Structure formats: structure tokens, C-alpha cells
Amino acid sequence: MQTGGKAARPLSPHLQIYRPQITSILSILHRITGIALSVGTLMLTWWLLAAAAGPEQFATAHGFITSWFGWLLLFGWSVALFYHLANGIRHLAWDAGWGFELPQVYTTGYAVLAATVILTAIAWIAGLTMGG
Amino acid sequence: MGMQSNLGRVRGMGSAKDGVHHWWMQRLTAVALVPLLLWLVISIIAHAGAGHEAVSAWMGQPVPAILMILLIIAGFYHAQLGVQVVIEDYVHNEGVKFAILIGLKLLTVLLGVASVFAISKLAFGA
């Protein structure tokens, strides 16, 4: 029974055995967007350091952010931010003991997805209109 | 009631010896980040395409500088707590896990301090 010092105990079913559901998808998306935002914050730090360093360094950072790859990163960052923000508020509601009934879990889940799309759209329309 | 002693129960620190501190700080920084991030998004939109002079002038004002420092501190603290949990869940080698966690903690402090330094430099116009 001993394998490598550990008893060969039965395992619970692995993740791939379950049909993906909105609840599990949103849960893992919260982690993925959290990791993405942690890495994405490097761009904010770089932008601040470049602004503090001087006009030349700022122009380099600005040039990268306004390149097609920079725009792509910024778009991804905005989607991740609005998702993590909306779903984070959903988590805070759970922490307060609200929203644990299954219909509520589904309703708030779809609301988070809708909020992500709407907030991303508003932010980009506003940004592109004002930035010219 | 379980197997805990009375003293252990009133202290409420559990086996990790820091109780609910991690959980609580994650929520506290989350609550702080809700208005701060909305402010950041609005600020980025308002400064879309702005040059060095406009951005420096903006960070030279007290309120934006203070809000940006608060956002950096709350943001890096929150990121560090969140990434820590992900590492603890998925990295199973104790040595590797320990090394990554130390690197994570030191790196987030470094990035946070560097950001606050940059904001301060812009704010004081040095």
C-alpha cells in the first residue's frame, strides 16, 4: 500500500470529469483576471517611472502603449479590470452573507458578465472620443 | 467545539498563527480599490493621448498624487495576497513554493516603493 512513503488513498474525481458551468467558469476567470491584472500593473509602474524620468523616457513608454500591441494589452487589461472589479463586488456580497441561493448566484453571475461588457464599451468609447 | 483548547479558541489564530489577517486584508484592500480603480479609469480616459507635460502637471497636484499612491499601495498589497493564494494552491513542492513566495513578497514591495517614488518625484516637481 505504501508508495513513496504515502498511502495510496482514493482520489476525488478530477476537474475534467465535470461539465463546465457558469459558476465554475466565472470562478476560475476571477483568478485568471487577477493574475493578468497583477502582471498588467507593471505597465502602470513603468508609465509612472517613465513620467518621473523625463520627457524622452515618457515618449518611449507612450510609444509602446500606443502601438498595436500596447493597445491590445490595454484592452485586455480593461476587460480583466472590469470583470475582476464586478466579480469582486459579487464576492464581497457573499462575504456579507448575501446571494448564496442558486438563482441569485446565476443572476449575479450573468450581471457580472453584462457589467464587464458595458463598462468596457463605455470606457473605450469615452477614451477614444476624448483622446481624439 | 472541536478539539481546541479554550485559550486556542479565544485567540482564534488557527494553525497558520495569523488568524483571519490575510483574508481580512484582502477584503479591506478590495473595498479601497473599488473607488480608487474607478478614479484611475476615469483619469486614464481624461488623459488619453496626453503628453509628458500634461501628465506631470496632473501628478503634480496633491489630490491625484495622494490617490495614486493609495491605489499603488492597496493594489500591490491586494495583488500580493491574491497571487500568494494561487501559488499555495498550485505549487506543491515546498522549497519551490517558499522561494516563489519570498520572491513575490519582495518584488511587490520593490515595485510599490518604485511607483511611490516616481509619484513623489512628479508631485514635488524635482
Under the banding of pLDDT at 50, 70 and 90, the label for residue A1 is very low
Q: Which three cell numbers stand for residue A82?
A: 472590469
Of the residues A6, A27, A33, A48, the best mutation for testing chain B's interface (the one with the most B CB atoms within 10 Å of its CB) is: A48
pLDDT tens digits along B71-94:
999 999 999 999 999 999 999 999
Q: Which among B27, B53, B119 has CB closest to A95?
A: B27
Mean pLDDT to the nearest integer, A21-36: 94
Which CATH architecture group holds B20-124?
A: Up-down Bundle (1.20)
Rounded Cα gap, residues A106 and B49, in angstroms: 39
Q: Domains in chain A, please, with CATH? A: 21-127 (1.20.1300.10)
Distance from CA of B96 to the nearest CA of A (A): 19
B92 touching A (Cβ < 8 Å): no
| Of residues B58, B22, B73, B86, the one with CA closest to residue A52 | B58
| Residue of chain A minimizing CA distance to B58 | A51
**Quick one: pLDDT at residue B116?**
98
Q: Count, in order, helices (H) and strands (E) of chain A.
A: 4, 2
CB contact under 8 A, A88 and B115: no
CB contact under 8 A, A51 and B37: no
Residue B9 has pLDDT above 90, yes or no: no
Rounded Cα gap, residues B63 and B60, in angstroms: 9
Q: Which three cell numbers stand for residue A98?
A: 448575501
**What residue segments make up the domains of chain B, in order of their start?**
20-124
| Of residues B118, B76, B117, B79, the one with CA closest to residue A50 | B118
pLDDT tens digits along B22-81:
999 999 999 999 999 999 999 999 998 889 999 999 999 999 999 999 999 999 999 999
CB contact under 8 A, B82 and A130: no
**A88 contacts in chain B (CB < 8 Å):** 30, 33-34
B107 touching A (Cβ < 8 Å): no
Q: Which among B34, B75, B86 has CB closest to A35?
A: B86
Distance from CA of B80 to the nearest CA of A (A): 8
Share of chain B above pLDDT 90, in %: 79
